[in-house]
Amino acid sequence: MPGSLENITEIIKGCIKNDQRYQRVIYEQYRGFALKIAFRYIYTYDKATDVVNDSFVKIFNHFNSFRLGSEEENEKILIGWLKKIIINTAIDYLRKKQMLPEIGGIPERAFEITDSYYNADQVALYNDLMILVKQLPPTNRVVFNLYVIDGYSHAEIADLVNINIGTSKSHLSRARAALQMGIKKMEQTNYARFR
Amino acid sequence: MPDLDNHMDDLFRKAADNYRPAAGKSDWDKISPLINTTEATVLPQNKKSNIVKKIAPLLLLLFLAATGYILNNFINTKNKNAFSAGNSIPAVKKTLAILNNIKPEKGAQGNTAVVATNSINNNTTSLKVTNAGIAGEIVTKNNSTIIRTAPKQTMNISVVSVGDEEATGVNKNEKNIFENNKDQTLTSQPGDAQISMQDSSIVSENNLITESKKIVSDTNTTTKNTPKKEVNHPSKQKRFYLGVTAGPEFSGVRRLEQQPGYEAGLITGYQLNQKLAVETGVLFSKKNYTCNGKYFNPDKLIASMPSGMQILSLSGNCSVFEVPLKLNYNILNNRTAIVFLSAGLSSYLLLSESNSYKTLLNGSINDMTGSYKNTKFYPAATADISIGFEKKLQKGNKLRLEPYLQLPLNGIGVGAMKVTSAGVHASFILFSNK
């Protein structure tokens, strides 16, 4: 989650007026946040950044549809709005690719070097867990992300991904099973301390 | 794995919040052109606008040069027309007929020459002339012409007019004048010589009507040269002037930037008296500057800067229209040159600004650029002082060199920077005949 901005309401108003100074602030402040979302859905880093960029273009071109709330709520509303657009853009991208499984590994450069963090091991663990999610088949990955992490209901997922509710549940259970398998493998190799 | 099974969803939620994909570089430059904007403010400059910006100063200078050339030609043509047969102003025609055909009397030494044209308008024309070394003045007012000389001096003048349509009219007028002379109705001003006609004849020659007259001032007086005393009519002095100016300019905050900008434009002024003139104008100025970050007020940029970012330094340029208002005081004024001191204020209309910032964020130094197109007016932005050197040319025109210094009174631009400027104006000044 990006750090809060002092004048988020003013920045949002600037974006509504299409002022690029404010648009850039939003982009710079939230692109890391956006990448974290997109990279959960999109397998390759480069494609994920493309989805992020496409998302921001959509966001800025449709900022006039943003509805301001109270001063305290505006950042939460903005984050929720950004998240929704990023997820939709990511799913659109996967749908264009017909939810075909990706090939190739995920390079280490796709993640930040963690040596400098005091909780480097923990971050490495989180990165590996996300790699497990990314290695799921695209539809399982989308359903797992939407349901478990992003809090969508199966009805919403069915509507969004254009599948049945039952199919959504099925994908979720397969995703969970695959992840449990993956975690077991991780546990056996590197992460005995994980429990 | 019972604990893992129970808390797997929470674990992945935590992982989703805390995993760290590489931040990568900003793609703002890539996406910003795709955004529908009404105010393009932080955009990379494209090649087209760069080319336009590069040739704009050249175009401006060409425009100014052309303007100066046209103005000069216009004024010269106007003066010339005042003495040509086609001029429709009766008083000028009459003077023309006399002036164009003044010839030295036989045996007299020296040539007839126009010394100065004091004024020309619809009713009155005044020309200072010398003939055979004698100074005089021909004044044509309404339907009468007076030749003035110093007391006890004689000026002999032959008048020949061309017989085309316009000149015929002139001839008639001339004839009327001289007939008036015959009738002794031509008035003589106090101190002027009495004019009388000694000879009159009309000769036709090659379709030209030639009228030859000899006019002698103050009958029976002797011709004796006396020092010429020019009559200066205050009401007929040239007071308004217009000029084109251009020159290099060095600007900066606290210290002047080595890379020069430039300034060019039009100036106009009014000569209050022999010593004082008030002057204004419109000048386009391109100012290059560098600035330590502490002299840059980031208040207007806070909203567009990441939290914690500090501006270390910046270099940039801005385009402004300057409107100076100043008073010139002549400290030296001789026949060929003028030296003056000048002081005044300049107001700025800021057109655009482009800055390159060196910033510090989270311990790393980064370069950022910002372009701002918001037009803003800054009244009395600078106090100006200068010293000017003017070389007098013909017809009252002047060439001027004017080193100047502009001290900031108010900050300008997005960072409210107090920009000092210094440079030299090279100007061509045209004086109006009115």
Using a CB-CB cut-off of 8 Å, the residues of chain B touching A149 are: 12-13, 16
pLDDT digits (tens, 9 = 90+) for B171-201: 333 333 333 333 333 333 333 333 333 333 2
User: Which pLDDT band, with edges at 50, 70 and 90, does B169 fall under?
Assistant: very low
pLDDT (0 to 100) of residue B311: 82
Using a CB-CB cut-off of 8 Å, the residues of chain B touching A60 are: 35-36
Residue with more model confidence, B274 or B323: B323
User: Which pLDDT band, with edges at 50, 70 and 90, does B339 fall under?
Assistant: very high
pLDDT (0 to 100) of residue B298: 80
Task: Say what percent of chain A tops pLDDT 90.
Answer: 36
Task: Say what percent of chain B tops pLDDT 70.
Answer: 49
pLDDT higher than threshold 50 for residue B41: no
In angstroms, rounded to a whole number, what is the distance separating the alpha carbons of residues B329 and B153? Answer: 40
Q: Taking CB atoms and an 8 Å limit, are B42 and A24 in contact across chains? A: yes
Q: Is B6 on the interface with A (CB under 8 A)?
A: no
Q: Taking CB atoms and an 8 Å limit, are B20 and A48 in contact across chains? A: no
Overall average pLDDT of the B220-230 stretch: 40
Q: Taking CB atoms and an 8 Å limit, are A27 and B3 in contact across chains? A: no
Residue with more model confidence, A172 or B151: A172
Q: Taking CB atoms and an 8 Å limit, are A48 and B15 in contact across chains? A: no
Mutate to test the interface with B, among A1, A7, A18, A20 (most CBs of B within 10 A): A20
CB A9 within 8 A of CB A68: yes
pLDDT (0 to 100) of residue B364: 62
Nearest to A14 among B32, B303, B305 (CB): B303
CA distances from A186 to A108, A190, A191, B388 (A): 17, 6, 6, 84
Mutate to test the interface with A, among B9, B12, B302, B369 (most CBs of A within 10 A): B12
Q: Taking CB atoms and an 8 Å limit, are A19 and B24 in contact across chains? A: no
Overall average pLDDT of the B348-374 stretch: 79
Residue partners of A192: CB distance under 8 A and separation at least 6: none
Question: Nearest-CA distance from A96 to chain B in Å?
Answer: 21
Task: Say what percent of chain A tops pLDDT 70.
Answer: 90
Paired residues of A5 in beta bridges: none
Q: Flag the least confident range among A124-133, B360-369, B389-398.
A: B360-369
Classified as helix, coil or strand, B350 is strand
Q: Taking CB atoms and an 8 Å limit, are A179 and B8 in contact across chains? A: yes
In angstroms, rounded to a whole number, what is the distance separating the alpha carbons of residues B279 and B345? Answer: 11
Mutate to test the interface with A, among B304, B305, B371 (most CBs of A within 10 A): B304
Residue with more model confidence, B72 or A79: A79
In angstroms, rounded to a whole number, what is the distance separating the alpha carbons of residues B196 and B199? Answer: 9
In angstroms, rounded to a whole number, what is the distance separating the alpha carbons of residues B9 and A161? Answer: 21
CB B193 within 8 A of CB B187: no
Overall average pLDDT of the B220-235 stretch: 41
pLDDT (0 to 100) of residue B204: 29
CB pairs < 8 Å spanning A and B: 139
Using a CB-CB cut-off of 8 Å, the residues of chain A touching B11 are: 129
Q: Taking CB atoms and an 8 Å limit, are A111 and B41 in contact across chains? A: no
In angstroms and rounded to an integer, the radius of gyration of the C-alpha atoms of chain A is: 18
Overall average pLDDT of the B84-102 stretch: 44
pLDDT higher than threshold 70 for residue B165: no
pLDDT (0 to 100) of residue B292: 84
Q: Which residues 30-49 of chain B have a CB within 8 Å of chain A?
A: 30-32, 34-43
Overall average pLDDT of the A78-102 stretch: 86
| CA-wise closest residue to B137 among B105, B102, B89 | B102
In angstroms, rounded to a whole number, what is the distance separating the alpha carbons of residues B69 and B244? Answer: 10
Mutate to test the interface with B, among A23, A52, A147, A191 (most CBs of B within 10 A): A23
Beta strands in B298-417 (DSSP E): 310-333, 337-361, 364-372, 376-392, 398-408
Nearest to A61 among B4, B14, B36 (CB): B36
Q: Which of A41-55, B98-112, B133-147 has the highest mean predicted lDDT (pLDDT)?
A: A41-55
pLDDT higher than threshold 50 for residue A20: yes
Overall average pLDDT of the A102-124 stretch: 72
Q: Which of B120-129, B210-219, B366-375 has the highest mean predicted lDDT (pLDDT)?
A: B366-375
Question: Nearest-CA distance from A182 to chain B in Å?
Answer: 12
Question: Nearest-CA distance from A149 to chain B in Å?
Answer: 5
Q: Flag the least confident range among A30-44, B195-209, B264-278.
A: B195-209
Average predicted confidence (pLDDT) for chain A: 84
CB B253 within 8 A of CB B284: no
Closest chain B residue by Cα to residue A133: B12
* Residue B88: how many other CB atoms lie within 10 Å: 10
pLDDT (0 to 100) of residue A85: 92
In angstroms, rounded to a whole number, what is the distance separating the alpha carbons of residues B198 and B178? Answer: 11
In angstroms, rounded to a whole number, what is the distance separating the alpha carbons of residues B34 and A54? Answer: 9
pLDDT (0 to 100) of residue B5: 55
pLDDT higher than threshold 50 for residue A57: yes
Closest chain A residue by Cα to residue B301: A21
In angstroms, rounded to a whole number, what is the distance separating the alpha carbons of residues B320 and B26? Answer: 32
Using a CB-CB cut-off of 8 Å, the residues of chain B touching A130 are: 15-16, 19
Q: Taking CB atoms and an 8 Å limit, are B41 and A45 in contact across chains? A: no
Q: Flag the least confident range among A23-32, A53-62, B134-143, B272-281.
A: B134-143
pLDDT (0 to 100) of residue A75: 85
